[in-house]
Amino acid sequence: MKHYLPDPDQIPGEAQPQELPPWGETRVVGRSLSRVDGYELVSGTAVYTLDLTLPDMLHAVIVRCPHAHARVVRVETSRAEAMPGVRAVLTASTPGAEIPWYFGDDGPTSRLFDSHCRYAGEEVAAVAAETVHQAWDAARAIEVEYEVLPFVIDEAEALEADAPAVHEGGNLTEQREFARGDVEAAFAEADVVLGGTFRTPCELHAPLETFVSVARWDGDRLTVWDSTQGVFARQQELARYFRLPLTSVRVICPYVGGGFGAKLSTGKYTVIAALAARMTARPVKLAVTREDSFLSEGNRPANTIRLKAAAMRDGTLTALEGEFLGSVGAYPSGAVSPYLLLALYDCANARAATTEVYTNAGRARAFRAPAFPPCAWALEQTIDALAEEIGMDPVEFRLKNLATVLQLRDDLPYTSIGLRECIIEGAREFGWESARSRPQQDGHLRRGVGMAAGMWAYPGEPRATVFVKLFADGSVNLNMGASDIGTGTKTVMAMVVAEELGVPLEQIQIEHADTGTTQYAPASGGSQTVVVSSPAVRAAAVDVKGQLLEIAAAELERPAEGLVLRDGQVVPIDDEGAAVPLAELRGLRQRQNIVGVGRRHPHPEGKIALPFCAQFADVEVNTLTGEVRVARLLAAHDSGRVMSYLTYENQVFGGMAMGIGFGLTEDRVLDSQTGKMVNHNWHDYKIPTAKDVPLEQTCVPIDPHDTECNTTGAKGLGEPAHIPTAAAIANAVYHATGVRVHDAPITAMQMVRLLAETRGD
Amino acid sequence: MSEDSGKRQDSQRGISRRNFLGTMGAGTLGVAVSGRAAPAQGAVAVASDGTQPVTLRINGRRVDLRVEPRWTLLDVLRDHLELVGTKLGCARGECGACTVLVDGQAQYACMTLALEAEGHEITTVEGLMHGEELGAVQQAFVEEDAFQCGYCTPGQVVAAEGLLRGNPNPDLAEIQEGMSGNLCRCGAYDHIFKAVRRAAQLKQLGTG
Amino acid sequence: MLPQFDYVRPGSLSEAIEHGATDGAILHAGGIDLLGCLRDGVFTADKLVAIAHLAELRGIDETRDGGLRIGALTTLSEIAAHPLIGERYTVLSQGAGSAASPQLRNQGTIAGNLCQRPRCWYFRGDFHCLRKGGSMCYAVAGANQYHCIFGGDRCYIVHPSDTAPALVALDARVRIVGPSGQRVVPLDSFFVPPGQDIRRETILEPGDLVVEVLLPPPGMGLRSVYRKVRARGVWDFALAGAAAALTISDGRVTGGRLVLSGVAPIPWRAAEAERALAGSRLDAETIRRAAQACVADARPMTHNGYKVDLVRGVVEETLRSLA
């Protein structure tokens, strides 16, 4: 999680223990309810940042370095400045633009416009003009003279002594080692040892709404509408860049058109928009083009993972060893992680070494379970191979070796672990045994099934504050800082309020994701949103409930413990006929509103709450053409309580769709001669379409009824849904064909060749 | 009378431009090549830095404005008419977020010049509403939770509308094929398929 | 963002030809490929000459000889959905139906599909390559996994069309009108390989436009099919594909053509395979022999050797489906 999300253990906790008892039977939470913002989404009335137009607004565009590695010698802007509609041209020498640029908590690594350009796509200049067409015309008229430098884009080559240095001090960013037990001895004593080198592609986030900010200054106060996953993180970073107090920076994002991790950290475009707005004293909108977003707004780096594993014939996994290599791109970030290797299975002897390097390529950003899908790709295929080698069913082999504690952290216990049930229930629902022994049909189409397990490592940043406000008529305002990145956050949180206050969803108005009007919540990433914010929402609603019942108890002259809230009424448990609508409570009319405040309590001490999953794939391989069709997918997830089945299932299927892309179609391609990306558009960079997902998908929630993780019992879902999919597909392809594909994606290009080699063609 | 206003009259009479031209299509080639069969008054010429008055029909309403040659229908919808329900995803015909109906057929607004949209009936997601009420496809998308971040959704909704107008009762494979021109990075495809099926039912029931 | 250009909507076909022949003018029909190229700066246009409104370029009609005339502006959707084409010229129906996406098929025209520029990512990208007047083909030593294994000559593009191989397989012709009059050309000789002229892909001269595609009457026992392999399920060009239009009588191939897509700078006739098929029964042995014959002359590059296997596989599958 390095460079991506704060370490929960480093956050000073409030000494506020978990106070609320777990829910018993719920009336609202867990149901399949339509989204509270469904109408806005389908009617086209939801206004995303890219849709926003402010009065007198200018449009800015960015001029980017076309070379993988170069120094800017000269920027000639006079022709652009004279063009129609141009109001500002920004370069490194523009007063106010000498902004140091940070990647994470360490010191600045670059500048807003750095004369040392380290990848093709780096920001060199910008133009603000009256229309976006004028801005582009002017941007094309800016002439930049470069000194083109030698570049390196290959991770292994970057480590060679004579490799071009991306930064002073060389290209090695970090090497780490992890070890437990005696790996050498375990390998020596094992019945079976096997391994291989696996490679995963560089994957691009490609959210449908591009990266865009609209900035406006009112005196020294900056307001930014930003397509972001977290307004508070953005507020903090903008305050640092512009040296402003937090109160002078307001960030707003009512709707965000996807992010998948790429919209967690601040992009230069946001700061450029704000800078241009300050220079021109006008609002400025800056939308990164689709093509440019592929170059500069993040990726999941390619990983090379050399794995070795050992087992005894009785099915005991005895040793795991992994070497990980990946590139963070041109600036600090994270590239690889052995977490899954060291945590998913009970294995006394394990060792991992990671190496991360700089290359002249776009910088990595957090991407849906950073580093986990690549590790799953290697680990889960290796586990599959081990099972085969000892003649054991892969399901049985996994069940025999499940971890029950977090070995990575001194055997820390989990608050709950439903992985065993995920595998057992998933296999049962999937029809694993019969599918596994299904005879092949004649002809060139071969079917196969495979599975893979997974877990996610981030328990969430345990701090958020939520206000819930009850109005005199019994309607409710939910005020929270969390962003809804498409997972249904608003809907789920409203359901929590409805659960506690007994008001219908239609009576709940939501304010969210605005640093000016809502309370702190961590960014929506790392599968933490429901985990972190739903307990705070519940606490705020319970606060309101307590105050309300106190009023009602006095008026109805009954003890508060004997009252419940239901259907907009206060209902005496033993005399339901005496129910009173909330709007008729005098005390409520007297006060006009009741405000409840809820805070997220710290994580449980001495335990950790993490989600687990198992996914199953059924594929058809065309042995003549190498085409792989995913016929069927099943996901069994332990993400704790299912807050809303509709959004839960949707998110699981979405994670698997992305996994199909990771496993079968997606791969950033850099030209070896120039270092430039050749497939920076949605045709050449192939994300899955409606035709790439199976028509048969099943979601099997496993709820271990975790009463310790937090007060709503929910664990994260977004990341785990994406982690094992590609590996499960690869195992199914192996089952179908006997071909073990080490390099993702499994394209027809690769598969047809591997099949031919297997046949000896 | 200009050629353009003539086309408008055609569509007002209920003859679509497509049909009209289709019936005119056969066997006229020789005439066109050898003579000046088509009236020259329909000709349009606009300089690159100039603008041309156009009359568009959008969601049943007539819209008069001046456009530059390079403006796409998407530019006009979003930046000049503030119909931002039609989304900008790639501006290069590779995502489907800007899907609109042109004479009832789904097309990408980003790949259509505004000048070329003249004479056609354009329907955007806003045009599928019945006042404040959701249309059948929209209703079905809500019921089936056929979206996540929602950004591709208007394009998906309009594509589904186009699909169902051409094929009111598609099977699952036809839905999958029909919806294959719209990317959803959140991967809500499964629910989208269900929503299209549900929308077909709603339309047949006459709801929405 | 599109750069600036003049726009002309001529009153007639003859005016369109006049405008089209002027310097820097480009015809604009469906616009899909054109606008994409302009946006990416692949080439520039001083003036777009709109032709989408020209009624005489539309329509699908049976011709007197029992063939079919398809107007240049006929959309791919119209072709894919046309019952007569589906019945008599299945390969074309399937080719049109497998191109691009539903929306693009609703807008893209048959002539545009034949005249589209190559999809080579160096040609389309920010690389001054040979085809754009530069001094090198970046694909030779670069990322050439999508490039050709046949017919490359200093430039290694593949022809992107799915309808072109189908039409060549059907021995279709195109009627071209231009400043120097009109001519009817077999589609076989419509496309220009890089060895002949590296700067263009068709024989069209300035001002020329394809006005219609002419299909001969289907031969006795004609069976045809198009099979396309692509990197994802839809909205993608062929990695390799096979368009077969064979006449079969009493189980024996009596004639016809086999044309490959996605593997050569032009729709690639598999002449050796056609010879292997002629007079033979479509049994497993013949099919294997024909598939092998298809790749006899293949010259794969560093990253597209798979196309040799793929062509063999897709041809085998295609012929099996006709057997």
Q: Nearest-CA distance from A34 to chain B in Å?
A: 6
**Binning pLDDT at 50, 70 and 90, where does residue B42 land?**
low
Q: Do domains A21-46+460-599 and A303-459+606-759 have the same CATH topology?
A: yes
Residue-level pLDDT at A109: 87
Answer whether C235's CB lies under 8 Å from C105's CB: no
Q: Which of A456, A545, A455 is nearest to A496 (CA)?
A: A545
Contact A689 C3 (CB under 8 A): no
Mean pLDDT of chain C: 97
Answer whether C211's CB lies under 8 Å from C110's CB: no
Q: Per mean pLDDT, which range of A32-46, A309-323, B24-38, C130-144 is the poorest? A: B24-38
The Cα A659–Cα C307 span in angstroms is: 26
Q: Domain ranges in chain B?
A: 3-23+50-124, 129-205
Please tell me what DSSP assigns to residue A167. Answer: S
Please calculate the CA angle A526-B180-A373 and round it to the nearest 5 degrees: 25
The CATH number of domain A21-46+460-599 is 3.30.365.10: yes
Interface of C with A (CB under 8 A): 1-4, 119, 121-122, 125-127, 138, 141-143, 145, 229-236, 239, 304-306, 309-310, 312-314, 316-317
> Does A85 reach chain C within 8 Å, measured CB to CB?
no
Kindly identify which residue of chain C lies nearest to residue B19, measuring between CA atoms: C59
Kindly identify which residue of chain A lies nearest to residue C119, measuring between CA atoms: A684
Q: Which of A645, A646, A662, A644 is nearest to A719 (CA)?
A: A662
The Cα A6–Cα C298 span in angstroms is: 55
ipTM over 0.90: yes
Residue B89 has pLDDT above 80, yes or no: yes
List C-alpha distances in Å: A486 to A255, A256, B152, C153.
9, 8, 11, 50
Contacts of A228 (CB under 8 A, 6+ apart): A234, A251, A253, A256, A259, A263, A264, A483, A523
Residue A761 has pLDDT above 50, yes or no: yes
**Binning pLDDT at 50, 70 and 90, where does residue A7 land?**
confident
The Cα A211–Cα A270 span in angstroms is: 9
Task: Using CB atoms, pick whichever of C4, C138, C317 lies closest to residue A624.
Answer: C317
Kindly identify which residue of chain C lies nearest to residue A445, measuring between CA atoms: C317
Contact C309 A140 (CB under 8 A): no
Residue A1 has pLDDT above 70, yes or no: no
Give A-chain residues touching B176 at CB under 8 angstroms. 690-691, 695
Q: How many CB atoms lie within 10 A of CB C208?
A: 21
Task: Using CB atoms, pick whichever of B125, B129, B151 lies closest to residue A209.
Answer: B151
Residue B46 has pLDDT above 80, yes or no: yes
Strand partners, C225: C244
Alpha-carbon torsion A92, A93, A95, A101, what sign?
positive
Please tell me what DSSP assigns to residue A555. Answer: H
A&C contacts, CB < 8 Å: 103
Residue B33 has pLDDT above 90, yes or no: no
CA A25 to chain centroid, in Å, comes to 31
Answer whether A401's CB lies under 8 Å from A316's CB: yes
Task: Using CB atoms, pick whichever of C125, C236, C310 lies closest to residue A625.
Answer: C310
Task: Using CB atoms, pick whichever of C121, C142, C306 lies closest to residue A672.
Answer: C142
Residue B13 has pLDDT above 80, yes or no: no
Kindly identify which residue of chain B lies nearest to residue C103, measuring between CA atoms: B107
Residue-level pLDDT at A13: 57
Task: Using CB atoms, pick whichever of B39, B46, B92 lies closest to residue C36.
Answer: B92
Q: Nearest-CA distance from B157 to chain A in Å?
A: 7
The Cα A300–Cα A261 span in angstroms is: 10
**Binning pLDDT at 50, 70 and 90, where does residue A760 land?**
confident
> Does C31 reach chain B within 8 Å, measured CB to CB?
yes
Answer whether A422's CB lies under 8 Å from A613's CB: yes
List C-alpha distances in Å: C243 to A133, A706, A712, C84, C290.
43, 59, 59, 18, 14
3-state secondary structure of A280: helix
Task: Using CB atoms, pick whichever of B143, B145, B149 lies closest to residue A258.
Answer: B149
Annotate A20-83 with DSSP letters as a single string. SPPPSS-SSTTS----TTHHHHHHT----GGG---TT-EEEEEEE--SSSEEEEEEE-HHHHTS
- Domains of chain C in sequence order: 56-115+158-215 (3.30.465.10), 222-322 (3.30.390.50)
Give C-chain residues touching A625 at CB under 8 angstroms. 229, 310, 313-314, 317
Greatest Cα pair distance in chain C: 60
Tokens 């609320």 locate to A20
**Binning pLDDT at 50, 70 and 90, where does residue A388 land?**
very high
Q: CA torsion, points A346, A642, B179, B87, in degrees to nearest 10?
A: -110
Answer whether A711's CB lies under 8 Å from A628's CB: no
Q: State which amino acid sits at residue A538.
A: R
Residue-level pLDDT at B41: 39
Answer whether A381's CB lies under 8 Å from A388's CB: no
Task: Using CB atoms, pick whichever of B126, B129, B191 lies closest to residue A650.
Answer: B191
- Give me the mean pLDDT over the A193-216 stretch: 98
Q: Nearest-CA distance from C305 to chain A in Å?
A: 8
Tokens 């994260």 locate to A716
Please calculate the CA angle C120-C170-C13 and round it to the nearest 5 degrees: 75
Q: Which of B27, B21, B71 is nearest to C73 (CA)?
A: B21
Residue-level pLDDT at A346: 98
Tokens of A381: 């295929």
List all chains that touch chain C, counting a touch as 3 or more CB pairs closer than 8 Å: A, B
CA A557 to chain centroid, in Å, comes to 51
Query: Could you give the residue ranges of the DSSP H alpha helices within chain C?
Result: 13-20, 32-40, 76-81, 83-88, 90-97, 102-107, 110-115, 121-124, 163-169, 271-277, 284-294, 306-322
Strand partners, A413: A405
> Does A11 reach chain C within 8 Å, measured CB to CB?
no
Q: Which of A246, A257, A375 is nearest to A307 (CA)?
A: A375
Tokens of A617: 């794939």
**Binning pLDDT at 50, 70 and 90, where does residue B43 land?**
confident
Let me know if B5 is exposed, middle or buried by CB neighbors in 10 A (0-12, 13-18, 19+).
exposed
Residue-level pLDDT at A730: 99
Answer whether B73's CB lies under 8 Å from B118's CB: no
The Cα C276–Cα B154 span in angstroms is: 52
Q: Domain ranges in chain A?
A: 21-46+460-599, 49-149+210-256+263-296, 303-459+606-759
Answer whether A371's CB lies under 8 Å from A485's CB: no
Q: Nearest-CA distance from A662 to chain C in Å?
A: 12
Residue B170 has pLDDT above 80, yes or no: yes
User: pLDDT exceeding 90 applies to what percent of chain A?
Assistant: 96
- Give me the mean pLDDT over the A22-36 stretch: 96
CA A120 to chain centroid, in Å, comes to 25
The Cα B176–Cα A630 span in angstroms is: 14
The Cα C160–Cα C236 span in angstroms is: 10
- Give me the mean pLDDT over the A350-376 stretch: 98
Annotate A639-686 with DSSP letters as a single string. -BS-S-HHHHHHHHHHHHHHHHIIIII----B-TTT--BS--STTTS-
Tokens 């592609």 locate to A201
Tokens 């339309």 locate to B203
pLDDT digits (tens, 9 = 90+) for A584-634: 999 999 999 999 999 999 999 999 999 999 999 999 999 999 999 999 999
Residues 107-136 of B with CB under 8 A from A: 124-126, 129, 134
Half-sphere exposure of A683 (CA within 13 A, CB side): 22
Please calculate the CA angle B5-B6-B8 and round it to the nearest 5 degrees: 65
Q: Nearest-CA distance from A514 to chain C in Å?
A: 31
Give A-chain residues touching B145 at CB under 8 angstroms. 32, 34-35, 38, 488, 646-647, 650
Tokens 């192996």 locate to A734
Mean pLDDT of chain B: 84
Greatest Cα pair distance in chain A: 88
User: pLDDT exceeding 90 applies to what percent of chain B?
Assistant: 78
**Binning pLDDT at 50, 70 and 90, where does residue B3 land?**
very low
Annotate chain B with DSSP letters as a single string. --HHHHHHHHHHTT--HHHHHHHHHTT-HHHHHHS--S-GGG-EEE-TT--EEEEEEETTEEEEEEE-TT-BHHHIIIIIS--TTSPPS-SSSSS-TTEEEETTEEEEGGGSBHHHHTTSEEE-GGGG-BTTBPPHHHHHHHHHT--SS-SSHHHHHHHHHHHHHH-SS--HHHHHHHTTTS--TT--HHHHHHHHHHHHHHHHHT--
Contact A691 B147 (CB under 8 A): no
Annotate C246-292 with DSSP letters as a single string. EEEETTEEEEEEEEEESSSSS-EE-HHHHHHHTT-B--HHHHHHHHH
- Give me the mean pLDDT over the A200-208 stretch: 98
Residue B22 has pLDDT above 80, yes or no: no
Residue-level pLDDT at A2: 56
A351, containing H or E segment? strand A349-358
Q: Which of C291, C236, C285 is nearest to C260 (CA)?
A: C291
Answer whether C204's CB lies under 8 Å from C128's CB: no
Residue-level pLDDT at A12: 65
Burial C90-119 (b: 16+ CB within 10 A, else e): bbbbbbbbbbbbbbbbbbbbbbbbbbbbbb
Residue A167 has pLDDT above 60, yes or no: yes
> Does A755 reach chain C within 8 Å, measured CB to CB?
yes
Mean pLDDT of chain A: 96
SS (H, E, C) A71-131: EEEEEECHHHHCCCCEEEEECCCCCCCCCEECCCCCCCCEECCCCEECCCCCEEEEEEECC
Residue B15 has pLDDT above 50, yes or no: no
Residue B25 has pLDDT above 70, yes or no: no
Strand partners, A454: A613
Secondary structure of chain C: what % helix, strand, coil (to 5)? 30, 25, 45
**Binning pLDDT at 50, 70 and 90, where does residue B17 land?**
very low
Please tell me what DSSP assigns to residue A302. Answer: P
**Binning pLDDT at 50, 70 and 90, where does residue A9 land?**
confident
Residue-level pLDDT at A3: 57
> Does C101 reach chain B within 8 Å, measured CB to CB?
yes
Topology classification of domain B129-205: DNA polymerase; domain 1 (1.10.150)
Strand pairing of A349-358 and A317-329? parallel
- Give me the mean pLDDT over the A502-510 stretch: 97
Q: Nearest-CA distance from B140 to chain A in Å?
A: 9
Kindly identify which residue of chain B lies nearest to residue C14, measuring between CA atoms: B33
The CATH number of domain A303-459+606-759 is 3.20.20.140: no
pLDDT digits (tens, 9 = 90+) for A703-725: 999 999 999 999 999 999 999 99
pLDDT digits (tens, 9 = 90+) for A645-657: 999 999 999 999 9
A&B contacts, CB < 8 Å: 176
Q: Nearest-CA distance from A63 to chain C in Å?
A: 13
**Binning pLDDT at 50, 70 and 90, where does residue A356 land?**
very high
Topology classification of domain B3-23+50-124: Ubiquitin-like (UB roll) (3.10.20)
Give the architecture-level CATH label for domain A49-149+210-256+263-296: Alpha-Beta Complex (3.90)
pLDDT digits (tens, 9 = 90+) for C10-56: 999 999 999 999 999 999 999 999 999 999 999 999 999 999 999 99
Q: Which conformational region is residue A208 in: left (phi greater than 0), alpha (psi within -120 to 50 degrees), or beta?
A: alpha
The Cα C74–Cα C60 span in angstroms is: 8
Residue-level pLDDT at C248: 96
Strand partners, A128: A60, A88
- Give me the mean pLDDT over the C189-215 stretch: 97
Contact B143 A133 (CB under 8 A): no
